[in-house]
Amino acid sequence: MQNVEQSLQKQIVDALQSLGVPSDSIPAISLQPTRPEFEGDLTLVCFPFTKLLGKGPEQIGQMIGEYLSTHGREVTGFNVVKGFLNLNIADRVWVASLWNFTQNKWVNGLPDKGQKVLVEFSSPNTNKPLHLGHLRNNFLGASLSDLLAFAGFKVVKANLVNDRGIHICKSMVAYLETGNGETPASSGMKGDHLVGKYYVKYDQLFKGQVAELVAAGKTEDEAKILAPVFVAAKQMLVDWEAGKPEIIELWKTMNGWVYEGFNASYQRMGVSFDKYYYESNTYILGKDIVDEGVAKGVFYRKEDGSVWIDLTEEGLDHKLVLRSDGTSVYITQDMGTADLKYDDFKMDRSVYVVGNEQDYHFEVLFHILKRLNRPYAHGLFHLSYGMVDLPSGKMKSREGTVVDADELMEEMVETAKERTQELGKTVDFNAEELSRLYEVLGIGAIKYFLLKVDPKKRMQFNPAESIELNGNTATAIQYTHARISAICRKADQLEIGLTMHHMPPDLQKSERDLMKHMLRFVECVEEAASAYSPAVVANYMYETSRLYNSFFAHETIFQAETPERVQFRVALSNHTGEILRACGKILGIVMPERM
RNA sequence: GGUCCCGUAGCUCAGUUGGAUAGAGCAACUGCCUUCUAAGCAGUAGGUCUUUGGUUCGAAUCCAAACGGGAUCACCA
């Protein structure tokens, strides 16, 4: 498509010049796909030229149309409706473009861009298991990484694990008080779920103790500070920072259980990392940057010793970067970690996949790093995604409305299994093939469901209805791929080549529509990469699948009139399959050969 | 209250560098499996693009205000 458009754009510029428009006053020419209700393939909007030429848009359209059909080789006809010049493009141009597309092997990835991007995502707390919100984060981060890699960036995937702090101590306190030495092995529970159980336990203990204290005459606020489990958790945090051996030991043990659990979840999710950072190591970082900032005059110190930055020039307010007691706040260690990442990887860009509730935090962080003249400051990007809501609104752990990631994955794989069995097309699959298929379908469905929506937007998930397997879903796309694979298998048997080498004299509408869309693949990937949006790829993939299905339903492949036409349609199918696999690779969705 | 984000079919979402009569899927209703996989295809119905004003040849898209929803504004992380 790019070739066609570029060539036409040049011709249009020529046409305008021949009509007497000076070349330096010609605006950028943009062609758009012709709306289906009109005849034509590409449309030029002529209104912008009316002032340049002093003529009406229809007249201009007529003149440019005539120029293009007499001077160029692509345009075979045209019509002008109001100010819109609709151009018919010769079928052989589409076929040649697609051939060129396949020759370039763009379905394997775009040329190297010579830039490195670090993508930080997942970043879980080690006190509870992953939930639906984490799934969105992880799938976004993983697919963004694959998308950028596909688009030609060198990508580093980083996970900054929040493995310390008061929330971890809460689980530990509850475990010490009520755990009776329970372990994942003894309880049969996944490690992260076991630790999560004690985090919930802590909350129960805490509430009970607060109620008792209130009954004994304390105010609510006093009670919250005096509750013995809270006191114990705070003490434990102090002991942890002091390196008290038995606390460190317990911390390591319980975090170990959590990591085992997380690793199992990550594996099922198909998510992996190149680099792990741990807050237990990074939380001390950043204080030297505070000193540096004070010395440079970027920060200022108040009489009480606290350090601040004035961001009123940027439209924000004054922000604390170090407490009066000299301890760090969140942003202190984020400054330190930013430096650390750059020291480790010297990346050109750094993406943080973090929920939009932290928009303000990252705005502040990025401003600070710019003020500090960090060399990497201009490559920072916060991929801010919306939360996943339930029909009842926000997920609330206290109300038990959290959708657990492991449970959801299990349920969807089960749903995929039931549906597959109902349809009964997999009788010759062995047990291993079946379970792999259920996994691919179930996990794919969740991924697609979460990825097809623009990351920035909040989205809704209804747990009562499991994720659809019909319509705009991964399953339907996977099904299209399985159909294509069947075509390719049959073609193989008949010894028909899978790569395009025959040019049909004319195209059917469904063939042309599919081809025009296929030719937008590169453009789609580039757009998705620059928008940091896997959703662009997901929508493109669905449209590809839809157009193929339409082609598949309207045209016969192996019964086509001539052997050339059969070969062409086989090749068209095969190349569609390549595109679906490429999109699937970007989104982390496996395309099965059969289903 | 300040700042930021969002508001498109009954529901879930596309479409937003300004272009023609705003698109899919689900749900509802009609057709299509003796033929390459019907997890599909084709069709019907469903819209004052929250509202009002502005910018212009042209606005779902840009600007302003209002209304509605959400987030954030900690010496929390």
3-class secondary structure, A539: helix
Nucleotide nearest to A51 (CA to C1'): B57
Per-residue confidence at A1, pLDDT binned at 50, 70, 90?
very low
Average pLDDT over residues A164-173: 93
Q: Residue A152 CA to B36 C1' — how many Å?
A: 37
ipTM of this predicted structure: 0.95
Nucleotide nearest to A393 (CA to C1'): B70
Which segments of A531-562 does DSSP mark as H helices, in order?
Answer: 534-554
Nucleotide nearest to A438 (CA to C1'): B39
**Selection from A310, A311, A293, A369 nearest residue A338 by Cα:** A369
Among protein residues, the one whose C-alpha sits closest to the C1' atom of B73 is A360
Nucleotide nearest to A415 (CA to C1'): B39
* Residue A505 reports pLDDT greater than 80: no
Q: Residue A299 CA to B65 C1' — how many Å?
A: 38
Per-residue confidence at A102, pLDDT binned at 50, 70, 90?
very high
Among protein residues, the one whose C-alpha sits closest to the C1' atom of B19 is A45
Secondary-structure breakdown of chain A: helix, strand, coil percentages, each rounded to the nearest 5? 60, 10, 30
Average pLDDT over residues A315-331: 90
Among protein residues, the one whose C-alpha sits closest to the C1' atom of B12 is A460
pLDDT of residue A398: 66
Average pLDDT over residues A41-52: 90
Nucleotide nearest to A423 (CA to C1'): B39
* Residue A336 reports pLDDT greater than 50: yes
* Residue A588 reports pLDDT greater than 90: yes
* Residue A522 reports pLDDT greater than 80: yes
Q: Residue A451 CA to B44 C1' — how many Å?
A: 31
User: What is the Cα–Cα distance from A8 to A142, expressed in whole angstroms?
Assistant: 38
Encoding tokens for residue A396?
């609330």
Domain ranges of chain A: 2-89, 165-274, 405-587
Going by the DSSP 8-state scheme, the letter that residue A353 receives in this structure is E
Nucleotide nearest to A45 (CA to C1'): B19
User: What is the Cα–Cα distance from A522 to A262, expressed in whole angstroms?
Assistant: 35
How far CA A248 is from CA of A52, A174, A240, A253, in Å, comes to 76, 16, 6, 9
pLDDT of residue A4: 85
Q: Residue A542 CA to B69 C1' — how many Å?
A: 30
Contacts of A518 (CB under 8 A, 6+ apart): A98, A101, A544, A575, A576, A579
Nucleotide nearest to A318 (CA to C1'): B73
**Selection from A447, A385, A446, A436 nearest residue A411 by Cα:** A446
Q: Percent of chain A, pLDDT > 90?
A: 79
Q: Residue A294 CA to B75 C1' — how many Å?
A: 18
Q: Residue A499 CA to B45 C1' — how many Å?
A: 43
pLDDT of residue A314: 85
Among protein residues, the one whose C-alpha sits closest to the C1' atom of B13 is A453
pLDDT of residue A426: 93
Contacts of A446 (CB under 8 A, 6+ apart): A135, A139, A408, A409, A412, A467
Q: Residue A465 CA to B27 C1' — how many Å?
A: 13
* Residue A2 reports pLDDT greater than 70: no
CATH topology of domain A405-587: Isoleucyl-tRNA Synthetase; Domain 1 (1.10.730)
Average pLDDT over residues A337-359: 96
Identify the residue with better confidence: A466 or A342. Answer: A342
pLDDT of residue A493: 93
Average pLDDT over residues A275-301: 93
Q: Residue A48 CA to B55 C1' — how many Å?
A: 17
Q: Residue A59 CA to B35 C1' — how many Å?
A: 51
| Total number of residues shown for chain A | 595
User: What is the Cα–Cα distance from A349 to A368, expressed in whole angstroms?
Assistant: 17
Average pLDDT over residues A165-188: 94
A438: left (phi over 0), alpha (psi -120 to 50) or beta: alpha
- Cβ atoms A385, A456 nearer than 8 A: yes
pLDDT of residue A211: 92
pLDDT of residue A276: 97
CA A328 to chain centre: 32
Q: What is the dihedral of CA A456, A461, A467, A472, to 10 degrees?
A: -40
Among protein residues, the one whose C-alpha sits closest to the C1' atom of B70 is A458
pLDDT of residue A392: 78
Q: Residue A323 CA to B24 C1' — how many Å?
A: 52
A48: left (phi over 0), alpha (psi -120 to 50) or beta: alpha
pLDDT of residue A120: 97
| Amino acid at the residue A127 | N
Please tell me the class of the A2-89 domain: alpha beta
Average pLDDT over residues A82-109: 92
**Selection from A277, A253, A149, A189 nearest residue A534 by Cα:** A149
Nucleotide nearest to A426 (CA to C1'): B37
Residue-wise pLDDT tens digits, A199-212: 999 999 999 999 99
Nucleotide nearest to A333 (CA to C1'): B77
b/e per residue A64-81 (b: at least 16 CB within 10 A)? bbebbbeebebbbebbbb
Q: Residue A545 CA to B42 C1' — how many Å?
A: 16
Chain B: positions less than 7 Å from a protein CB are: 2-6, 11-17, 19-21, 23-27, 35-42, 57-58, 70-77
User: What is the Cα–Cα distance from A160 to A341, expressed in whole angstroms?
Assistant: 11
CA A347 to chain centre: 20
Q: Residue A268 CA to B72 C1' — how many Å?
A: 34
Per-residue confidence at A546, pLDDT binned at 50, 70, 90?
very high
Residue-wise pLDDT tens digits, A357-397: 999 999 999 999 999 999 999 999 999 999 998 887 788 77
Nucleotide nearest to A539 (CA to C1'): B14
Q: Any idea which of A2-11, A267-276, A552-561, A567-576 has the lowest mean pLDDT?
A: A2-11
Top mean pLDDT of A137-151, A310-324, A381-395 is at: A137-151
Residue-wise pLDDT tens digits, A467-504: 889 999 999 999 999 999 999 999 999 999 998 887 78
